[in-house]
Chains A and B, each alone.
Chain A
Amino acid sequence: MQEEIATHARDISRALGGKVSEKEIENELNNYLNVYRVSLDTAKRSIVRKHGGDPTGLQLGVSKTIKELIPGEQSVDMLCRIVSVDGRQIDVEGGSKDILYGILGDQTGTVPFTAWVVEGLDFHKGDVIRVRNAYTKEFRGQVQVNFGNRTTLAKESPDALPPYEPGKGSVPRGPPTPMKVVDLKEGSSNVSIIVRVLDVEKRQVQVNGDAKTVFSGTLADETGKVKFSAWKDFSISPSDTIKIEGGYVKAWRGIPQFSFDERSEVSKLEASTLPAVEELEKSPRVWIEDLAERGGAIDVVVRGIVIDIKEGSGLVYRCPECKRVLRKMACRIHGEVQGAPDLRVKAVVDDGSGALIAVFGKDLTEGLLGKTLEACITEAKENMSQEVVRDQLADLLVAQPVEVRGNVTSDDYGLMMIVDGAKILKVDVEQEARAMLEELEGLEDTA
């Protein structure tokens, strides 16, 4: 330990440009660690700041295994294996940028990662890498590792870590946990569910360069619906009632998706186990707080009040290239273009348990306004302002109870529903109040 402290003291001294002696720093570091009992990382940063230095100059992080990671690490080192890696483009202010994301693993577990700077990065599935100066955040209760500007990555020999074995290192495989569709959450594994197949199709996909056959579609029980992917032919067909044991849950934009493969078992059950397809096809009514805990869901109904109409609602113009909504008649990516007119609403719907952004497309917006896109364009020209349409929508919708139906996704900005159907919510307040009061008085009588 003392030896390790000496190394860290050297790192601090270097970050301070050598203006404080290593011996002095070592004493201070011991003091922070043993008397004040702060973490090594915090201690190092505090000492650098105390002497007027910049903590980002520190090079030597604290080495941890995946199990030891906590959210909010400022600088952490790891030795791990790339379990999976993928790239995508994200929208950022002033354009788009490439990032890499995937899963890291070591003998203690796995953790998702994102690399925000991809220039010069070259690693592949299965590589063992030494990570320095990564940082962690929490996303939906899970630690996430981030590689930023200061992070350095170096390849190590593949035998520096034992090979990754799926399912190992996390939970030992025991009997599967029975769950209802509504309880499926990202990361659940070894799950058993009893469901009815609503639809299924066979598709060919590319997975890491290999062609694979996948059967995908929709499953449902009385609590809700979920999309599924079966990586083996279990010969299931629509309206089958089945029990799936040993499935796992991944998420796409927060929506839980159920997967199962050759390690899972599928058995057919009596049709009477679950309600009929027509019954299960109905969209269940959900509370937004439950959607927030689940991360998203397909085809649900939310009842709430519109409490705001966001900017970018009403009459908008889209880039003909990328369909992004133009700001001041310019696209973020393609500059000044001849925009194509469109109507949409981004409404904040709040049901008292949570809030989501409900996005209404052109047809629904025309229905709400009771006029066509063309009429809106004419009005905007007459009033010399696009905002006139948004103001009309605000007049119509703000403080209006609504019922909206659609798929709900989530990202860093919260929950979003792409609305498939909407109606003005009419509630018989008197009847509901009477029922509640009777229930209340009933309770008092029995108490």
Chain B
Amino acid sequence: MNRETAWRVFAGEYNDSTLDMSDGGERSPTYVVTPLGAKVNRLFVVGVLTDMENVGTEQEPMWRGRITDPTGTFHVYAGQFQPTAAAVMAKLKPPVFAAISGKSRVYKPDSGQTYVSIRPEIVKVVDAGLRDFWVLESCMSLKKRLEAAREAYQMNPPTTEELLKLGYSSSLSAGLVAAVAHYGKVDLSRYSSMLAESLRYLLPEFQESRPPETEEVIKVEEKAAEKPAKAGADDQLEGDILALIEQLDKDGKGASWDAILEGAKKHKVDRDKLEELVNALLDKGLVYEPVLGRMKKI
């Protein structure tokens, strides 16, 4: 019985998952299967822990943390059955770089939606160097799955045997077959831009402002049918708002919403537009909300 692999999967791919499966048998583990066929029972993530909240009670705490990576946010829950992880999480002061290994969890309420989260086994405070290393590892892992998915999409229908023959592992081959059966052939451009974006995230020449040629990617990533020029303009505004939030945060507790709204007027940004921009910044993990109504740059 081999130990379950700790997958390196970006939040963007993990959170797209709506399939969970087990190999059958009473004690066989359950897996979250991502659209690209990662059969995730355990995962290892490194990112920025942006906030931490006790959503349980004083007596029976349940810690909820959000960990962002360049592509999205992981939701992490630790309660009384994860005493070691919960004890570490209770003491963390966001924002902080955190490494977590844990088990995949699925929650499917009656509404028909699927929420995936992580139940942590080990939580550790780390540094930006390890985060970058993790992003690189996750890129390699994503690249392999993208290649395998492209191969699988050529087959009608894909089979585990054929994928194994191409040299993919038994786990990925089985995962991809299940993924294609459940999700069909997904739009791979979403994941190839996720890969390119995450690689650029590691390169200094792409930090701060984005060069114009990446506008195409932003458009695909946001899946919105906005014109490239507008996406570019939004990018500029996001940068302005980010600078504004940093500037207004004088006491280290974050910038108040009213002050940001006031300051945003100078950039001709109204309330609706500001909310949109701040949400984008939250999604990208560039800011977080330490308390309700306050924004802080990470």
Are the chains A and B members of one assembly? Answer: yes
Q: Using a CB-CB cutoff of 8 Å, which residues 406-437 of chain A contact chain B? A: 412-415, 427, 429-430, 432-434, 436-437
Give the Cβ gap from B213 to chain A, nearest Cβ, in Å. Answer: 10
Contacts A308-B121, A437-B200 given; indicate if A355 touches B133 (C-beta within 8 A).
no
From A289, A414, A429, A440, give the contact of B195 (CB < 8 A): A440
Name which of A21-29, A325-333, A346-354 contacts chain B.
Answer: A346-354
A79 at the binding interface (Cβ < 8 Å): no
Q: Using a CB-CB cutoff of 8 Å, which residues 74-133 of chain B contact chain A? A: 99, 101, 121-122, 124, 126, 129-130, 132-133
Contacts A354-B2, A355-B6, A440-B196 given; indicate if A293 touches B170 (C-beta within 8 A).
yes
A432 touches B136 (CB 8 A): yes
Cα–Cα distance between A116 and B184 once the two chains are bound (Å): 47
Residues of B within 8 Å of A436, CB to CB, are 139-140, 143, 199
Residues of A within 8 Å of B135, CB to CB, are 429, 433
Closest to B192 in A: A440
A62 at the binding interface (Cβ < 8 Å): no
A43 at the binding interface (Cβ < 8 Å): no
Interface of chain A, main secondary structure? mixed
State which size class the interface on B falls in: 35 or more
Cα–Cα distance between A434 and B204 once the two chains are bound (Å): 10
Residues of A within 8 Å of B2, CB to CB, are 292, 354-355, 414-415
B137 touches A352 (CB 8 A): yes
Contacts A354-B2, A355-B2, A398-B122 given; indicate if A429 touches B171 (C-beta within 8 A).
no
A401 touches B130 (CB 8 A): yes
A85 at the binding interface (Cβ < 8 Å): no
Cα–Cα distance between A415 and B2 once the two chains are bound (Å): 7
Closest to A356 in B: B3
B44 touches A440 (CB 8 A): no
Cα–Cα distance between A414 and B4 once the two chains are bound (Å): 10
From A293, A308, A433, give the contact of B202 (CB < 8 A): A433
A355 touches B203 (CB 8 A): no
B196 touches A437 (CB 8 A): yes
B5 touches A355 (CB 8 A): yes
Give the Cβ gap from B80 to chain A, nearest Cβ, in Å. Answer: 20
From A307, A354, A357, A433, give the contact of B44 (CB < 8 A): A307
From B121, B133, B140, B171, give the contact of A401 (CB < 8 A): B133
* Residues 316-355 of chain A, each 1 if its beta carbon lies under 8 Å from chain B, else 0: 0000000000000000000000000000000010101111
Cα–Cα distance between A398 and B121 once the two chains are bound (Å): 12
B260 at the binding interface (Cβ < 8 Å): no
A308 touches B122 (CB 8 A): yes
Give the Cβ gap from B37 to chain A, nearest Cβ, in Å. Answer: 14
Cα–Cα distance between A441 and B203 once the two chains are bound (Å): 15
Which of A354, A357, A430, A433 has the most chain B CB within a 10 Å cutoff? A433
Residues of B within 8 Å of A401, CB to CB, are 130, 133
Contacts A307-B101, A401-B133, A427-B133 given; indicate if A414 touches B143 (C-beta within 8 A).
no
Contacts A307-B44, A433-B202 given; indicate if A348 touches B5 (C-beta within 8 A).
no
Residues of B within 8 Å of A269, CB to CB, are none
Residues of B within 8 Å of A308, CB to CB, are 101, 121-122
Cα–Cα distance between A293 and B171 once the two chains are bound (Å): 11
A413 touches B46 (CB 8 A): no
Query: Can you pick out 21 interface pairs between chain A and chain B where the beta carbons lie within 8 Å of each other?
Result: A289-B169, A289-B171, A293-B170, A305-B137, A308-B101, A308-B121, A352-B6, A352-B140, A352-B141, A355-B4, A398-B99, A399-B46, A399-B130, A414-B2, A415-B2, A429-B202, A430-B203, A433-B203, A436-B139, A440-B196, A440-B199
Nearest 4 CB-CB pairings of A with B: A399-B99, A433-B202, A437-B199, A355-B3
